[in-house]
Amino acid sequence: MSLLKSFSRRDKVFDFLVPAESPVDVRHGPILYLEDVSVSFDGFRAIDALNLTIDDGELRCIIGPNGAGKTTMMDIITGKTRPDSGKVWFGARHNLLTMNEPEIASLGIGRKFQKPTVFEALTVFENLELAMSADKRILPTLTAGMTPAIRERIGEVLETTGLTGLIHRPAGILSHGQKQWLEIGMLLMQRPRLLLVDEPVAGMTEQEMERTAELLTSLAGKQSVVVVEHDMGFVRSIARKVTVLHQGSVLAEGSMDQISSDPKVVEVYLGADVDEEVVRC
Ligand SMILES: Nc1ncnc2c1ncn2[C@@H]1O[C@H](COP(=O)(O)OP(=O)(O)OP(=O)(O)O)[C@@H](O)[C@H]1O
């Protein structure tokens, strides 16, 4: 490709614009990059030389036994926990270890905790409206009143989450699944680039799980989605690539078929404790 032609491409970041110290090769599309990350709590290594790369638009499932370090890994990405060593980059430009939690959130990294935390007294619409106000870029427009653009965004998110028919319902009377979708919708209002979702289907009915699988798979491509989940049937229904964490590092990575036939994974995770779930897969 001629130099002139390569300069006119809008889908690439020019090499000379990538900071020299960034370990991320943006030409291959990673959006999140963890290298050799470790953290100890009172001498106990919760994360141990962890390496993980998430591509732009990817849907990745993270599984692992209790205490494997899944939550701690999310805490490190969002700035809640500082690792003792390693590198954590978001795209080629943002070294997350130099940023605090609000700064990281403002880059477009949204986190959904296991328990829904919607505002129960407010309607579905009001919850989404409020979520938008957390976005500093549009706050001035919001205080000036509801613009057509905000209405349009709320409409899009209602459609994506399947909550259009419940727009005027108080969030408090929604089912557990609907509350989870609303909270995902609240994160979507700010057009995140990366969504971290912790155990989204815990406590859901089969039908709600199916709808959640549709929702999360529909989000992939538009943004990257990292899902931590114990329910193996659910993981199988959404996962393209699965990462298995064990004792703070990656034990295996690959398709669901690859990891479920990996003897190391069967031994530490898919063994006796979750036999029932494996059968359901
Ligand atoms: N703030 C902390 N202080 C001390 N130990 C901690 C702290 N946070 C996590 N740990 C320990 O680090 C290990 C990893 O915990 P973490 O919560 O990340 O695991 P997990 O994979 O998310 O487990 P689960 O599936 O049960 O949620 C555990 O042994 C936990 O007790």
Q: At residue 11, does pLDDT exceed 50?
A: no
Q: Is 180 left (phi over 0), alpha (psi -120 to 50) or beta?
A: alpha
* Contacts of residue 149, Cβ cutoff 8 Å, sequence gap at least 6: 141
Residue 46 CB less than 6 A away from ligand 1 = yes
Residue 259, φ and ψ in degrees, nearest 5 = -75, -30
- Mean pLDDT value of segment 152-181: 95
The rounded Å distance from CA 227 to ligand 1 centre is: 17
Element (H, E) at 33: strand 30-41
205/194 Cα distance (integer angstroms): 26
Answer whether residue 140 shows pLDDT above 60: no
The secondary element (H helix, E strand) that includes residue 259 is helix 256-260
Residue 72 near ligand 1, beta carbon < 6 Å:
yes
Residue 144 pLDDT: 53
Which amino acid, one-letter code, is at 64?
A: G
CA distance 132 to 126: 10
- Of 97, 88, 86, 83, the C-alpha closest to 40 is 83
Q: Ligand 1 pocket, 246 CB below 6 A?
A: no
**Is the confidence at residue 186, as pLDDT, over 70?**
yes
**What is the arithmetic mean of pLDDT over 68-94?**
96
Coil, strand or helix at 43: coil
Question: Is the C-beta atom of 81 inside 6 A of ligand 1?
Answer: no
- Tell me if 14 CB under 6 Å of ligand 1: no
Residue nearest to ligand 1 atom 31, measured at CA: 67
With a 6 Å cutoff on the Cβ, whether 62 touches ligand 1 is no
Mean local confidence (pLDDT), 162-187: 96
- Determine the pLDDT at residue 14: 45
Boundaries of every domain in the chain: 118-180
Which of ligand 1's atoms lies nearest the C-alpha of 73? Answer: 18
| Maximal CA-CA distance, the chain | 60
pLDDT tens digit sequence for 199-254? 999 999 999 999 999 999 999 988 999 999 988 899 999 988 999 999 999 999 99
pLDDT at residue 132 greater than cutoff 50: yes
What pTM was estimated for this model as a whole?
A: 0.84
**Which secondary structure element, helix H or strand E, spans residue 208, and what is its range?**
helix 206-219
* Separation of CA 72 and ligand 1 centre (Å): 6
| 248 CA: nearest ligand 1 atom | 14
Pick from 57, 54, 28: which is nearest to 219 by CA? 57
